[in-house]
Chain A
Amino acid sequence: MKADQVLIEHHDVLRGLLKQLEATTDDQGKKRQKLLDSLVSELGVHVRIEDELFYPAVEKVTPLLAISQAEHRAIDDQLAVVLRTDTGGPDFATEVKMLAATLDHHAGEEERVMFPQSHALGEAALESLGTQMEARKKQLERSRFTQLLRSAKREVLRRV
């Protein structure tokens, strides 16, 4: 699969998780927690494959890198806010909506502007980059160490 396709598919996974999260109600604390946990993992993997593989590869063909990285940071910050928010409280829906807006904007901008720019690399290069990214994604999903690190970070942010 081509690199931008890999990312678009994963954007859809992330958007799907946020849709599900937005559809929950205040009495579904457990479900919210579970969805949040998957969101933290998926986002972690997504940011890693973009930062490690995709962004360095497209550095020469898009001026958007700095902005995209800033948006990753904004998503990270808001995810921390959501993690700290009581899953049964009145603020949860508001904060999730903010997270969805931040992520939607970032993913949309990449899909509208950066990915078409990345086509300048040529089909073959995008194809091999995509294969690399899929392999790294699988590896990150399986790695016990990465999982542990992520849950440690998640729990710390949840508790402070």
Chain B
Amino acid sequence: MAFAFGLAGARARPLQDLLHGVWLGHPLHPVITDIPVGAWTAALMLDTVDMVAPRPAGFRQAAQLSVGLGVVGGIGGALTGVTDWQHTHDDARRAGMLHGVLNTVALSLYGFSWRDRHRGRHGRARVASTLGYGLTIASSYVGGRLVFRHRVGVDHVDGRLTPRDFVPVLLDSKLPEDSPTLVDCSGVPVVLIRHEGRISALGGHCPHLGAPMVEGWLYRGQFVCPWHGSRFDLQTGAATSGPATSPLSCFQTRLREEQIEIRRIPPAQLATTGQTATTEGAQGHES
């Protein structure tokens, strides 16, 4: 799989980021999967109505269109799903495999169904799509379990909005350049990074699967997750490259009496206040 994406060359990472949904701020996969589930539900209803009380050909055409739309959406779901799946672990990986296999069979059945409809063999086509529908529903259940039980695609960052007010966490002189340093802020793990004269304070756990970010490193001015190589903006914590799609928690920093002080920036404000202290004594944003 690594080799398959490797074949995309320099476009491999942008392509995966697109499929993960980094640009969207949350996984793209569940957005796309609504298309096949919705379209195939519509097809099933159209088929049922047409069978109970045969209508003019318009219903059959509509059903065929719905099946086709679902197949296109299903391919999108498969591409985004497999991209996310490659970065899962253990039980989630096994459940994801089951989800993928069931969906691939369902998608194939709908593919056959579309071809049969195209050739006018509506009876056989309806059997295939009804079987496919059952599999889709079973597989959607597994997909739901992947999220709600295995927490795949769920934001793993610590959501506590503490500390609300600036608290000192480390002596300014104790923070080396470009070397992520873990501080404990009343139970909240925070990673401090001094890079090119600015101090950033970001959450201690990766939003993707909760990796300990203090073991991460810097690459082209971005903070890299040690497990799957997600990248984050130092100023805002925003994910710039996947598999992570949501931001690291982000803290404001300032210097007071040789001490680095931090306070949590509420996520909703992030867009306007990505403030960080500079070592030149220009202090961070104050309320």
Q: Which residues of A contact B (CB under 8 A)?
A: 66-67, 70-71, 73-74, 76-78, 80, 84, 94, 97-98, 101-102, 105, 109, 153, 156-157, 160
Contact = CB atoms under 8 A, between A and B. Distances in A.
A97 B221 CA distance: 13
Interface centre among B2, B5, B8, B93, by most chain A C-beta atoms within 10 angstroms, is: B2
Nearest to B8: A160
A63 B159 CA distance: 26
Interface string B196-219: 000000000000000100010101
A70 B87 contact: yes
Interface string B212-230: 0001010110001011110
B229 A74 contact: yes
A71 B6 contact: no
B52 interface: no
Interface of B: 2-3, 5-10, 12-13, 86-87, 89-90, 93, 211, 215, 217, 219-220, 224, 226-229
Contacts of A74: 227-229
Contacts of B90: 66
A105 B89 contact: no
Contacts of B12: 77, 80
B228 A70 contact: yes
Given A67-B89, A74-B229, A76-B2, A105 B217 contact: yes
B217 A109 contact: no
Nearest to B1: A73
A157 B6 contact: yes
A97 B220 CA distance: 10
Contacts of A109: 215, 226
Contacts of A80: 2, 6, 12
A77 B219 CA distance: 15
Contacts of A84: 9-10
20 contacts: A67-B89, A73-B228, A74-B227, A74-B228, A74-B229, A76-B2, A77-B6, A77-B12, A94-B219, A94-B220, A98-B219, A101-B219, A109-B226, A153-B3, A156-B6, A157-B6, A160-B6, A160-B7, A160-B8, A160-B9
B224 A71 contact: no
A130 to B, nearest CB: 27
A98 B83 CA distance: 22
Contacts of A157: 3, 6
A71 to B, nearest CB: 7
Nearest to A97: B219
Nearest to B90: A66
A44 to B, nearest CB: 12
Nearest to B6: A80
